[in-house]
Amino acid sequence: TQLLEQSPQFLSIQEGENLTVYCNSSSVFSSLQWYRQEPGEGPVLLVTVVTGGEVKKLKRLTFQFGDARKDSSLHITAAQPGDTGLYLCAGAQAAGNKLTFGGGTRVLVKP
């Protein structure tokens, strides 16, 4: 059983549609991060959330950290083909600790 569960595992949508990816756990995290990974490359950090209830926006991407710091969501508005990739959430259970990664959500945005 993974410490961080991501859902869905795979999402295929048309350009212009919205999508939401979820990251859930029964454990509390001091911080949670979202990464995007493109084929053949390493993951790249999108955002870090540290405060329960925190919402961060990055252009068309909106990230939310749950009030209890056990879950997070990533919402993409008007998805574009360039949003295609593997989205990974990762949590640290204490400041400076190593990260635990979720299983990832593969997003495919078709033109």
Which residues would be at the binding site for other proteins (CB under 8 A)?
2, 30-31, 33, 35, 39-45, 48, 86, 88, 90, 92, 95-99, 101-104, 106
The whole-angstrom separation of Cα 86 and Cα 104 is 6
How many angstroms separate the first and last alpha carbons of the chain?
Answer: 35
HSE of 66 in the Cβ direction (CA atoms, 13 Å)? 15
Pick the closer one to other proteins by CB: 32 or 79.
32
Pick the closer one to other proteins by CB: 40 or 82.
40
Pick the closer one to other proteins by CB: 13 or 46.
46
The least CB distance from residue 68 to other proteins, in Å, is 19
Structure tokens at 33: 């991060």
